[in-house]
Amino acid sequence: MCMKDYYDIVSNIISNDRFKELKNDTHHSTNKYDHLIRVSKLSYKLAKLTKSDVESTTRAGVLHDFFYGDRKASIQNSYLNHPYTSANNAKEVFNISDFESDIIKTHMFHHTLFRSVVPFINPSEKVKIKEGKPKSKEAWIVCLSDLIVSAYEGLRYNVATKTSLYAIFLFNIITR
């Protein structure tokens, strides 16, 4: 798979100054910019493998978390609302298609399912499984890619943190 094709699809997005601002937002132990690049690269590869709409899948993958600030900063940035904020921002800045917007809006389906099973988590957020369910193969690809990349980033951070704490603990014992 030629990554040149990938960069042809996303170059106008990743070179945009508003998009570059996401380098300042922490997200899954990294910054949001790097997270979006990882998700879009995996989405690109999976879309090619499954003969899906590669351009729409890749663009939606790189814009699925196109919101500013932390998820706790406002209700618009919350787990279940940020997909809508991201889709609106992407439409405003990059004039994405309705299809790409739908992909972005459903990328948190796994959290929608989890929230419907465990209702006491984030009780202020409304859960609508029908609305949040991916409606296309491309939407499922971005949803799955985000889940895989987020798990990878979370594990990498947790392992690094635990290793650092363990090293500090050992250092304190040794230097007593």
- Domain range for 112 is 3-174
pLDDT class for 133, splitting at 50, 70, 90? confident
Q: What's residue 132's pLDDT? A: 76
pLDDT in tens, 112-127: 676 666 666 666 666 6
Structure tokens at 12: 């106008």
d(CA 141, CA 53): 11
SS3 31: strand
The closest alpha carbon to 80, from 109, 102, 40, belongs to: 109
**What local confidence, expressed as pLDDT, does residue 78 receive?**
57
Give the model confidence (pLDDT) of 63-94 as tens digits.
999 987 666 666 565 556 788 889 999 999 99
Which residues, listed in sequence order, are joined to residue 30 by a DSSP beta bridge?
A: 27
Which of 34-43, 52-61, 65-74, 134-143 bottoms out in mean pLDDT, i.e. has the lowest? 65-74
Q: How confident is the model at residue 109 (pLDDT cuts 50, 70, 90)?
A: confident
CATH, residue 153:
1.10.3210
Mean pLDDT (whole number) for 129-148? 89
The percent of residues in the chain predicted with pLDDT above 70, rounded, is 68
Cα separation, 132 vs 106, in Å, equals 5
Domains in the chain, number:
1
Identify the band that residue 176 occupies on the pLDDT scale cut at 50, 70 and 90.
low
Q: What is the pLDDT of residues 56-71, one digit of tens each?
A: 999 999 999 998 766 6
